[in-house]
Amino acid sequence: MTRGYPARVSSPSGRAREVIRALQAARAQRPPERSRTEPPFDRSWQGALVLVLAALAVLFAVQIVNAQDRYGLDRFGLRPRSADGLVGIVTEPFLHASWGHLLSNTLPFLGIGWVLMLSGLRVWAFVSALVIVVGGLATWLVAPAGIIVGASGLIFGWLGYLVARAWFSRRLRWILWAAMVLLFFGTLLNGLLPDLDPRTSWPSHLCGFLAGVLAGWVLHPRRPRAARSGRGTSVS
């Protein structure tokens, strides 16, 4: 410090101190802000179930029309590496090869779709759209030649999202929901492995699952450690 006039030390006045203390007290009592990117949790399980049942009704309606047409609509399924088969990226989840095929997807569609729908219609729609487009495009690129139909890829995408949500967010609530889903539908993970049955398209399962993981990474980014612990940078 140079010599001369005494150094002036800035200090708040008494009234300023009271204002600062009041602001600090209000900030301490304020509940932690919710992440702007992480979607909320909707506890209306009845409404979620109704919406998933409505989506399932669409699949049954398409199946009725398709069966009456002797499964002629299956020609609009996904055909890998075929320009005409690109439309199948969108139509694949709505088409099934038989009633048995649709019924085998019904229970996981309801169960896993309901758990996802608990986070709200917008989250369900976003995850579904991302899985259909990204997972379908990946399937179109890597799957063997043929026609692929069925909602399995979408279901595996939902499953991948729920697992990724628990991993990325590290919230106890999401972990418990993921554990519950795996308890009931964990055997589905076998569908991610290569299958010798040519009627089973395991690449669509794997691509859908990875697309679901991508959706979990997008919607639930890992927060900094300081933010997770609630300790931010203090300023005087």
What average pLDDT does this structure show over 90-118?
A: 96
Q: Residue 105 — pLDDT band, cuts 50, 70, 90? A: very high
**Domains of the chain by residue range:** 45-219
What average pLDDT does this structure show over 4-23?
A: 50
* Closest to 91 in 3D by CA, of 107, 74, 106, 105: 74
Asked if the model's pLDDT at residue 51 lies above 70, the reply is yes
For residues 9 and 189, the model is more confident at: 189
Q: Residue 197 — pLDDT band, cuts 50, 70, 90? A: confident
Asked if the model's pLDDT at residue 116 lies above 90, the reply is yes
Report whether 219 contacts 128 (CB < 8 A). Answer: no
* Closest to 146 in 3D by CA, of 228, 58, 75: 75
* Rounded-to-integer distance, Cα 135 and Cα 140, Å: 9
Task: Provide φ and ψ at 171, rounded to 5°.
Answer: -90, 135
Q: From residue 65, how far is each of 72, 73, 76, 208 by CA, in Å?
A: 9, 8, 14, 26
Asked if the model's pLDDT at residue 230 lies above 50, the reply is no
Architecture of domain 45-219: Up-down Bundle (1.20)
The model's pLDDT over 124-157, given as tens digits with 9 standing for 90+, comes to 999 999 999 999 999 999 999 999 999 999 999 9
Per-residue tokens: 150? 């069925």
pTM of the model: 0.77
Amino acid making up residue 47: G
**Residues 6 or more apart from 9 whose CB is under 8 A from it?**
none
Per-residue tokens: 78? 């996904």
Mean pLDDT over all residues of the chain? Answer: 83
Per-residue tokens: 79? 């055909």
* Rounded-to-integer distance, Cα 94 and Cα 102, Å: 10
Give residue 15's pLDDT: 61
For residues 212 and 223, the model is more confident at: 212
Give residue 78's pLDDT: 97
